[in-house]
Chain A
Amino acid sequence: MNHEAFGLSANLFAFLDWHEFFFLLFAGVACVAAVMVVLSDNVVRMALHLVLSLGATAGLFFLAGAEFVGAMQLMIYVGGTLVLLVFGVMLTAQTQLVALRTPAGDRVIAGILAAALLAVLVQAAFSIESWQKPGQGVATAPTATPLGMALVGVRVDQVAEENLVRPKGGYLLPFEIVSVHLLVVLVGAAYLARAKRRRVPRSVDLVASADSTKPRSPVAASSTLVAGGPK
């Protein structure tokens, strides 16, 4: 390797601020993929671009020092929620439904409104003086332990500054509410999305089970479907 070239590349590496570089990389990927989600008509491509956008967002979380939230973003969002969405795409993937086109007039109006909204939000983002001060880049402690303690009601990050007798409240109650909420929602989702069983009146249940090969009345089946399943 040429000595001069080596010095140049070392200069380049010294010139590059890696935090800045990775911020630009992740922010660019997140924004471009989000725009591609809007622009593409194919729902499968939209899902792929959404994966890219959310993954790059997780990278931004890591850069901001919130490594536990970033890991959760990758595991729950990209690993769970998007798999759910992709399942939805696969279950409803008929050829005429994969690419539903939006009228061009709607696109133009939406573009104008989006530009206006973006202008307002960006202007707001740069409107506060203290938000624009570049970060000190202080080394941050790992956040997994304080987060876990906060979720069970103990704020270890507040203990140092406030007195030990009355530390700032933790998040035990919201944590429990969210847990029960998630449980109820998943049970409800499973109830809503399960395969529909055709239902016949109870008096003819025995007869129906005796000759289950006989097809039942399509009217009864469709009325069950419209009513949203068996009550």
Chain B
Amino acid sequence: MTFVLCGVVSVSHYLVVGAVLFTCGVVCMALKRNALGVLMGIELVLNGANINFVAFGSEYLAGDGKSVLGLDGEVMALFVILLAAAEAAVALAITLNFYNNHATVDVDRADDLHG
């Protein structure tokens, strides 16, 4: 167990988790053909960013007892959560509209503007 974590958890470990979630989200956005899958990728990306905000704002994880962002990191994480909720609501509405019009949620079929 101490092979990965020599001692206590540091900010870097949180950044790695955030990086994994971010990468998965980017791949999910690029790869999924289902519009809801693309939405889930966006949620993953925002969560990866959120982990970084919280890690930099945490005094518990700070090496020298003084965090980089302090409370600002947590406030930003709250704003990200709120904006993600708003984004999910409006993106879902667009997806449902698309589904009503085209009877599919395949984003490859959304080529009405194709020249």
Chain B CB within 8 A of A27 CB: yes
Check B79–A178 contact: CB distance below 8 A. yes
Chain A residues with a Cβ under 8 A of chain B: 16-17, 19-21, 23-24, 27, 30-31, 34-35, 37-38, 43, 46-47, 50, 53-54, 57, 60-61, 63-66, 68-69, 72-73, 76-77, 80-82, 84-85, 87-89, 91-92, 97, 100-102, 106-107, 110-111, 113-114, 117-118, 121-122, 124-126, 128, 130-138, 140, 143, 146-147, 150-151, 155, 157, 171, 174, 178, 181-182, 185-186, 188-193, 196, 225-226, 228
Residue of A nearest to B108 (CB): A100
A81-B85, A130-B63 provided; 19 other pairs, C-beta below 8 A?
A: A19-B8, A20-B1, A31-B24, A37-B44, A57-B51, A61-B54, A66-B54, A66-B74, A72-B81, A76-B82, A92-B105, A100-B105, A118-B20, A131-B10, A135-B11, A136-B64, A143-B74, A189-B89, A192-B94
Q: Nearest-CB distance from B84 to chain A (Å)? A: 6
B34 to chain A, nearest CB (A): 5
Most buried by A among B6, B20, B33, B73: B20
Looking at chain A's contact residues, the main secondary structure is helix
How many inter-chain contacts with C-beta < 8 Å in the A-B complex?
Answer: 278
Is B30 in contact with chain A by the CB < 8 A criterion? Answer: yes
State the CA gap A114–B24 with chains docked (Å). Answer: 8
A186 in contact with B86 (CB, 8 Å): yes
Interface residues on B, range: 35 or more
> B61-94, CB under 8 A of A: which get 1 and which 0?
1111100001101110111011111111110111
Pair A91/B99 contact, Cβ less than 8 Å: yes
Q: Is the CB of B95 within 8 A of A92?
A: yes
Least Cβ distance of B26 to chain A in Å?
A: 7
